[in-house]
Chain A
Amino acid sequence: GESVGLHLPTLSVQEGDNSIINCAYSNSASDYFIWYKQESGKGPQFIIDIRSNMDKRQGQRVTVLLNKTVKHLSLQIAATQPGDSAVYFCAERASYDKVIFGPGTSLSVIP
Chain B
Amino acid sequence: DTEVTQTPKHLVMGMTNKKSLKCEQHMGHRAMYWYKQKAKKPPELMFVYSYEKLSINESVPSRFSPECPNSSLLNLHLHALQPEDSALYLCASSQGTAKGSYEQYFGPGTRLTVT
Residues of A within 8 A of B (CB): 7-8, 32, 34, 36, 41-46, 49, 89, 93, 96-104
A91 to chain B minimum Cβ distance, whole angstroms, is 8
| A43, A100, A102, A103 — most chain B CB neighbours (10 Å) | A43
Residues of B within 8 A of A (CB): 4, 31, 33, 39-45, 48, 50, 55-56, 90, 92, 96-97, 102-109
| A97, A99, A102, A104 — most chain B CB neighbours (10 Å) | A97
Determine which of B42, B55, B56, B103 lies in contact with A89 in the assembled complex, contact meaning CB atoms within 8 Å: B42
Q: Are B108 and A98 in contact (CB under 8 A)?
A: no
A34 and B4 alpha carbons, distance in the complex (Å): 19
Q: Are B50 and A43 in contact (CB under 8 A)?
A: no
Question: CB-CB < 8 A to A44: which residues of B?
Answer: 43, 90, 104, 106
Question: CB-CB < 8 A to B45: which residues of A?
Answer: 98-100
Of the A-B pairs whose beta carbons lie under 8 Å apart in the complex, a sample of 13, sorted by A's number, is: A7-B41, A32-B102, A34-B102, A36-B106, A41-B108, A42-B109, A44-B106, A49-B103, A93-B102, A97-B96, A100-B45, A101-B42, A104-B41
A102 and B44 alpha carbons, distance in the complex (Å): 10
Question: CB-CB < 8 A to B4: which residues of A?
Answer: 43
Q: Are A99 and B42 in contact (CB under 8 A)?
A: no
Q: Are A7 and B108 in contact (CB under 8 A)?
A: no
A46 and B97 alpha carbons, distance in the complex (Å): 17
Q: Are B56 and A98 in contact (CB under 8 A)?
A: yes
A25 to chain B minimum Cβ distance, whole angstroms, is 12
